Amino acid sequence: APGMELSYRSTISIYKSILDEFNPALENLVYLGNNYLRAFHALSEAAEVYFKAIEKIGEQALQSSTSHVLGEILVQMSNTHRLLNSDLDVVTRTFHVDLLQHMEKNTKMDVQFISESQKQYELEYRHRASSLEKCTTELWRMERARDKNTREMKENVIRLRSEMQAFTSESQRAAELEEKRRYRFLAEKHQLLSSTLLQFYSRV
Amino acid sequence: APGMELSYRSTISIYKSILDEFNPALENLVYLGNNYLRAFHALSEAAEVYFKAIEKIGEQALQSSTSHVLGEILVQMSNTHRLLNSDLDVVTRTFHVDLLQHMEKNTKMDVQFISESQKQYELEYRHRASSLEKCTTELWRMERARDKNTREMKENVIRLRSEMQAFTSESQRAAELEEKRRYRFLAEKHQLLSSTLLQFYSRV
């Protein structure tokens, strides 16, 4: 049955691609995401310190006889930027909690889940294939011996084959769904991040 | 003349405040601004690497049988963020060239300029004060001696005093202008930075 063989190889290759490509890529993404997050925090801190210094100069100007209004402008500017900064902290929190932590948890659990799914699939496929082969060999032997129970065995082989066909195509669909779910998770989570960022920008 | 004395102290205190407070604060601001800029660049790099990794996963999805559209979404998302990132580089360039470099150049030149202005002002003030004092003492002596040239000397003292009054009030106005110019420079430059940032956000 070349159809089942093809389906088997396709299913196994999907499991392999989740294990060997998708999950390591996600793990790497979590690592890069944590770097990205640290860079966000560092920027937020640097901005805070910078605008704190601007505020101090503004307060100095407020005390001068010549530049009271300019001092007000500088203090106000500093306040605006620091408010902006605290809004940006909401974005980084979303990024951290809703995305990175979620991705990290998922990859850790997924490696075990997918390896076990693959192992179980291989076992059941081999079990079904060997049952089918045994019955087929038995059928040939019975046909050669003109056994009176040939018809029964023939029906048995047909049933086993159709069951196996159903099993391989269902398993393939299940594996495809697993793959698709993972890419969808990634796309949805990043669209959430994008919309949080856009919300932040439009609030400016 | 308590008015001139007051004006003198006020002028000197403005020069001192520019030298001892404004310029060191500006120097510190340049230092903090360079840290801020480095944090911007680090964030830009971290984002670039992160979205490059997203793009790679998207390309993997493009090659899968199940997740072609999700792959397109991931690749597109990565491109959007990387475009945003290159826009942000324009902001940091403005910050660097139009603000930090300008502030750095100004503080370096200003220390010498203000010290010299202050020194010259003190010299001229002392010179005028001692001339006035000399003539006033001479006038007293002449009045006591009922000298016939008293009237001439009186006019001389009045002229010197009014010239010195003009000099101290002009000097004070000049020093106030210098102080105001410095705060205005700072406020204007930062409003330029703010507007560049807002332009960037509204383009998102």
From CA A9, how far away is CA A119, in angstroms rounded?
Answer: 14
CA distance B54 to chain A (A): 8
Q: Beta-strand (E) ranges in chain B?
A: none
From CA A60, how far away is CA B203, in angstroms rounded?
Answer: 35
Contact at 8 Å (CB) between A153 and A138?
yes
Check: complex ipTM more than 0.90:
no
pLDDT digits (tens, 9 = 90+) for B82-129: 888 887 888 888 889 888 999 999 998 999 999 999 999 999 999 999
Domain assignment of residue B26, given as a range: 11-203
From CA B33, how far away is CA B197, in angstroms rounded?
Answer: 15
Chain A residues touching B25 at Cβ < 8 A:
53, 56-57, 60
Write down the residue that tokens 């019975």 correspond to: A142
Distance from CA of residue B157 to its chain's centroid? Answer: 41
Would the CB atoms of B66 and A180 count as touching at under 8 Å?
yes
Residue A71 contacts B, CB cutoff 8 Å: yes
Q: How many residues does chain A have?
A: 204
CA distance B143 to chain A (A): 42
From CA A173, how far away is CA B41, in angstroms rounded?
Answer: 45
> Of B59, B172, B83, whose CA–CA distance to B125 is shortest?
B172
Contact at 8 Å (CB) between A50 and B162?
no
Residues 6+ apart with CB under 8 A from A154: A139
Q: Is there a domain that residue B5 lies in?
A: no
From CA B71, how far away is CA B56, in angstroms rounded?
Answer: 9
CA distance B155 to chain A (A): 35
State the best of A57, A65, A68 to mutate against chain B, taking most chain B CBs within 10 Å. A57
Would the CB atoms of A50 and B70 count as touching at under 8 Å?
no
Write down the residue that tokens 């006889």 correspond to: A65
Higher per-residue pLDDT: B89 or B34: B34
Chain B residues touching A197 at Cβ < 8 A:
204
pLDDT digits (tens, 9 = 90+) for B153-200: 999 999 999 999 999 999 999 999 999 999 999 999 888 888 777 776
* pLDDT number for residue B199: 72
b/e map B18-33, b = 16+ CB within 10 Å: bbeebbebbbebbebb
Q: End-to-end distance of chain B based on CA atoms, in angstroms?
A: 63
Residue A180 contacts B, CB cutoff 8 Å: yes
Would the CB atoms of A25 and B50 count as touching at under 8 Å?
no
* pLDDT number for residue A72: 95
Q: Is B146 helix (H, G, I), strand (E, B) or coil?
A: coil
Chain B residues touching A70 at Cβ < 8 A:
180, 183-184, 186-187
From CA A194, how far away is CA A191, in angstroms rounded?
Answer: 5
Tell me which residue in B25, B49, B66 faces A32 most closely, judged by beta carbons: B49
From CA B38, how far away is CA A82, in angstroms rounded?
Answer: 19
pLDDT digits (tens, 9 = 90+) for B41-64: 999 999 999 999 999 999 999 999
CATH number at residue A15: 1.20.1270.60
Distance from CA of residue B128 to its chain's centroid? Answer: 32
Tell me which residue in B25, B33, B70 faces A187 most closely, judged by beta carbons: B70
What's the structural domain count of chain B? 1
* pLDDT number for residue B174: 96
* pLDDT number for residue A165: 95
Write down the residue that tokens 């698709």 correspond to: A180
Q: Is there a domain that residue B3 lies in?
A: no
* pLDDT number for residue A83: 84
The DSSP symbol for B64 reads: S
* pLDDT number for residue B75: 95
What the block records as the tokens of B129 is: 């004060």
* pLDDT number for residue A1: 64
* pLDDT number for residue B104: 93
Q: How many CA atoms lie within 13 A of B70 on its CB side?
A: 22
* pLDDT number for residue B56: 96
Interface of B with A in 24-63 (CB under 8 A): 25-26, 28-29, 32-33, 35-36, 38-40, 42-43, 45-47, 49-50, 53-54, 56-57, 60-61
Q: Is there a domain that residue B197 lies in?
A: yes
Would the CB atoms of A36 and B56 count as touching at under 8 Å?
no
Residues of chain A whose pLDDT is less than 50? none
Distance from CA of residue A173 to its chain's centroid? Answer: 19
B80 band by pLDDT with thresholds 50, 70 and 90: confident
